[in-house]
């Protein structure tokens, strides 16, 4: 632990030096300084490890985002909180509090927000437009706000669309700050947990609601969240995953239930996860591991990190808990990460591994709660034996603490963004603290190493999928081994506060179809395995993935395209967006430090 804290302290000083160089205006000097610092950081790597890959600087944006979502037009939408001038707060001082990033050009388009999305939840809707919907937030009090953003503009073409407030048409039944949103097999959206007003326990929200609501449908009490409140804990950003039976796994703090997706009443009371708190503000992270056809789509949930005792100086939790929640007498298996971590992000990679990054090795959320960044990132490989699944893969000199995020990219890399290290971080930061972070980086997995040949798409018969159906495709397979070809279908979800809401991945059955480049795949058997929505399709050759292609699975069974009533139905993705979107002035081109 001492070595980890020493690494963090040295890297903090180096990182501040690099930030000064990067902001000096000389890209040549900045590149040299960054390379030098990365070499120094690499010298601090744990003994016996290979030289770690430095994360690549990509660009500098307009905002320091606290939420990130990958949209079906291959652009990334980012949000941060509105600046509240009357109180001590973090956030950009100016008109922009959102941005759209186009990785094909590195172009960042600034956006305004009609409402404050501070610590909201969200989803990508399954409807044809692929719109992003944001639920809740805070603006001097928790809010019942709902906003949407309909993607527009193909890659390489700046869009003209913006955020739209829906409060004149619909609001949440209950104000929510720190809620979780989850797409369901029915096509509806579950919004659960959070706080009714600030962080006070007396205002904790032990309820959930469904979008769209059915006639006379009211709030639903969630026994797991109520039990957390009874212990004196507010249920902020509970982890929630749809299981292959159509039931839900819900986790908060150290407790988990398997519950009905309709009533949210418990079906199975799972054992307590050892290690103390795993939820906000002592935040860990959670992911549903890839569902594999060869394993009969067995559900396994991983929960990593957190902090046992709340303190700025106390170490983070180093353990992860792994459980098969549908197994009779399910029990947690504990594994140890290479370093302790609080406020991490976990992203499913198309090769079936999990990339874990960001956060701190000590401390907790929110602003100023951690002064010990975790500069190393790791990969968890569920195919390896327990106890041998973690490896340190990359290192950075940029602190990414509270409100940092990560998103899988169309090429299979991971984009890292954000960090609000303290209150009033727009000011000159005091020693030992960290500024708002507007720089973006990306991690290149091993399958993107130089010389690695990747499958390439030729054609896909259809991008509109129903369940349990055969779909033909053509792809070039570098190995020529047709028996080694597989496919993955994934959703990155709405990433905020160490949890990717709605993230999931499934293996698809692929068979050769008569020529070296022709194949047929079977779409997911049912909506319990992959709820209706927009997904990225990856072809793999011996675990090396292609770039992704978007598909829409299962249609829009809840008719979200017509929700809320009175709002003009958004056109299908690729056409012009609705004209009621917030207008934006022409964007400026920010300073770039690298290219994708």
Tokens of 505: 């991945």
Does any domain span residue 96? yes
Confidence of residue 329 (pLDDT cuts 50, 70, 90): very high
Q: What is the pLDDT of residues 368-393, one digit of tens each?
A: 777 789 999 999 999 999 999 999 99
pTM of this structure: 0.88
Given 448, 476, 511, the domain boundary residue is 448
Q: Are residues 422 and 477 in the same domain?
A: no
> Which pLDDT score, from 0 to 100, does residue 443 have?
97
Q: Are residues 388 and 499 in the same domain?
A: no
Given 393, 414, 448, the domain boundary residue is 448
Q: Are residues 502 and 390 in the same domain?
A: no
Does any domain span residue 569? no
Task: Mean pLDDT check: name the lowest of 46-55, 430-439, 574-583.
Answer: 574-583
Q: Where are the beta strands (DSSP E) in 193-269?
A: 207-211, 220-221, 239-242, 248-252, 255-259, 266-269
Stretch 292-321: mean pLDDT = 94
Confidence of residue 85 (pLDDT cuts 50, 70, 90): very low
Q: Which has the higher per-residue pLDDT, 574 or 161?
A: 161
Stretch 177-193: mean pLDDT = 97
Stretch 207-221: mean pLDDT = 95
Burial class (CB in 10 A: 0-12, 13-18, 19+), 3: exposed
Q: Are residues 206 and 179 in the same domain?
A: yes
Q: Are residues 423 and 488 in the same domain?
A: no
Stretch 11-35: mean pLDDT = 36
> Which pLDDT score, from 0 to 100, does residue 237 have?
95
> Which pLDDT score, from 0 to 100, does residue 127 have?
95
Q: What is the pLDDT of residues 99-135, one digit of tens each?
A: 999 999 999 999 998 888 889 999 999 999 999 999 9
Residue 420 has pLDDT above 70, yes or no: yes
Residue 534 has pLDDT above 70, yes or no: yes
Residue 478 has pLDDT above 50, yes or no: yes
Distances in Å between the Cα of 385 and the Cα atoms of 300, 382, 543 are 14, 8, 18
Q: How many CB atoms lie within 10 A of CB 213?
A: 16
Tokens of 338: 């290479």
| CB-CB contact of 141 with 197 (8 Å) | yes
One-letter-per-residue 3-state SS of 400-465: CCCCEEEEECCCCCEEEEECCCCCCCCCCCCCCCCCCCCEEEEECCHHHCCCCCCCEEEEECCCEE
Does any domain span residue 591? no
Q: Are residues 426 and 518 in the same domain?
A: no
Distances in Å between the Cα of 70 and the Cα atoms of 123, 132, 550 are 10, 9, 11
Q: Which has the higher per-residue pLDDT, 465 or 55?
A: 465
Most confident residue range from 24-38, 258-272, 574-588: 258-272
State how far the Cα of 269 lies from the Cα of 560, in Å rounded to an integer. 33
* Cα diameter, the chain: 68
Q: Are residues 281 and 351 in the same domain?
A: yes
Q: What is the pLDDT of residues 422-440, one digit of tens each?
A: 654 444 556 556 878 899 9
Does any domain span residue 594? no
Distances in Å between the Cα of 494 and the Cα atoms of 79, 178, 285 are 11, 13, 14
> Which pLDDT score, from 0 to 100, does residue 100 have?
96
Q: Which has the higher per-residue pLDDT, 433 or 211?
A: 211
Distances in Å between the Cα of 108 and the Cα atoms of 23, 407, 575 are 18, 16, 21
> Which pLDDT score, from 0 to 100, does residue 572 have?
62
Q: Which domain holds residue 368?
A: 2-448
Task: State the DSSP string of 468-498.
Answer: T-EEEEEEE-TT--GGGEEEEEEE--EEETT
Does any domain span residue 577? no
| CB-CB contact of 238 with 283 (8 Å) | no
| CB-CB contact of 499 with 510 (8 Å) | no
Q: Are residues 410 and 526 in the same domain?
A: no
Stretch 91-97: mean pLDDT = 66
Does any domain span residue 175? yes
Stretch 354-379: mean pLDDT = 89
Q: Are residues 297 and 381 in the same domain?
A: yes
> Which pLDDT score, from 0 to 100, does residue 336 have?
97
Does any domain span residue 593? no
Given 448, 473, 502, the domain boundary residue is 448
Q: Are residues 147 and 171 in the same domain?
A: yes
Q: Average pLDDT over the chain, rounded to whole?
A: 85
Q: What is the CATH number of the domain that holds 89?
A: 2.130.10.80
> Which pLDDT score, from 0 to 100, does residue 577 have?
30
Q: Which has the higher per-residue pLDDT, 73 or 313?
A: 73
Q: What is the CATH number of the domain that holds 512?
A: 2.60.40.10
Q: How many domains does the chain have?
A: 2
Does any domain span residue 570? no
State how far the Cα of 443 lies from the Cα of 433, in Å rounded to an integer. 25
Q: Are residues 439 and 461 in the same domain?
A: no
Q: Are residues 355 and 489 in the same domain?
A: no
């Amino acid at each position: 632990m001492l070595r980890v804290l020493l690494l963090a302290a040295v890297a903090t000083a180096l990182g501040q030096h690099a930030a000064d160089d990067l902001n000096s205006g000389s890209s040549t000097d900045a590149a040299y300084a960054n390379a030098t610092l990365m070499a120094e950081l690499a010298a601090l790597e744990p003994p016996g490890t290979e030289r770690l890959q430095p994360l690549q600087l990509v660009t500098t944006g307009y905002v320091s985002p606290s939420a990130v979502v990958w949209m079906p037009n291959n652009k990334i939408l980012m949000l941060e909180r509105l600046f509240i001038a009357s109180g001590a707060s973090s956030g950009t001082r100016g008109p922009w509090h959102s941005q759209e990033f186009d990785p094909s050009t590195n172009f960042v388009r600034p956006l305004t927000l009609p409402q404050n999305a501070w610590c909201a939840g969200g989803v990508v809707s399954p409807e044809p437009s692929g719109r992003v919907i944001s639920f809740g937030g805070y603006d001097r009090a928790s809010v019942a706000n709902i906003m949407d953003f309909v993607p527009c503009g193909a890659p390489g073409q700046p869009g003209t669309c913006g955020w739209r407030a829906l409060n004149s048409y619909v609001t949440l039944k209950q104000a929510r700050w720190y809620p979780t949103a989850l797409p369901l097999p029915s096509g509806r959206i579950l919004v659960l947990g959070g706080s009714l007003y600030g962080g006070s326990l007396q205002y904790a929200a032990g309820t959930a609601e469904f979008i769209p609501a059915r006639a006379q449908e009211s709030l639903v009490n969630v026994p797991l969240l109520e039990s957390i409140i009874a212990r004196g804990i507010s249920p902020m950003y509970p982890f929630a995953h749809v299981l292959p039976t159509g039931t839900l796994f819900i986790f908060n703090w150290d407790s988990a239930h398997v519950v009905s997706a309709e009533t949210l009443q418990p079906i199975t009371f799972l054992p307590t996860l050892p290690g103390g708190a795993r939820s906000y503000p002592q935040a860990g992270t959670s992911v549903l591991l890839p569902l594999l056809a060869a394993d009969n789509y067995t559900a396994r949930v991983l929960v990593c990190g957190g902090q046992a005792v709340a303190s700025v100086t106390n170490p983070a939790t180093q353990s992860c808990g792994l459980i098969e929640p549908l197994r009779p007498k399910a029990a947690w298996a504990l594994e140890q990460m290479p370093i302790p971590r609080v406020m991490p992000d976990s992203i499913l990679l198309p090769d079936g591994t999990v990339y874990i990054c960001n956060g701190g090795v000590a401390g907790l959320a929110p602003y100023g709660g951690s002064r010990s960044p975790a500069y190393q990132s790791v990969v968890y490989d569920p195919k390896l034996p327990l106890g041998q699944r973690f490896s340190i893969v990359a290192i950075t000199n940029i602190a990414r603490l509270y409100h940092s995020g990560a998103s899988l990219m169309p090429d299979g890399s991971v984009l890292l963004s954000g960090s609000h290290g303290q209150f009033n971080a727009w000011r000159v930061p005091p020693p030992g603290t960290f500024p708002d972070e507007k720089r973006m980086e990306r991690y290149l997995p091993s399958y993107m190493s130089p010389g690695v040949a990747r499958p390439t798409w030729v054609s896909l018969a259809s991008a509109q999928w129903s369940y349990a159906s055969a779909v033909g495709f053509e792809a070039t397979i570098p190995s020529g081994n047709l028996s080694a070809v597989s496919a993955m279908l994934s959703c990155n979800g709405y990433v905020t506060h160490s949890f990717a809401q709605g993230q999931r991945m499934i293996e698809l059955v692929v068979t050769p179809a008569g020529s070296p480049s022709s194949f047929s795949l079977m779409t997911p058997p049912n909506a319990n395995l992959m709820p209706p929505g927009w997904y990225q399709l990856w072809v793999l050759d011996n675990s090396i993935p292609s770039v992704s292609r978007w598909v829409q699975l299962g249609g829009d069974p809840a008719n979200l395209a017509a929700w809320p009533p009175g709002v003009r139905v958004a056109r299908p993705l690729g056409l012009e967006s609705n004209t009621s979107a917030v207008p934006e002035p022409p964007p400026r081109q920010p300073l770039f430090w690298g290219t994708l």
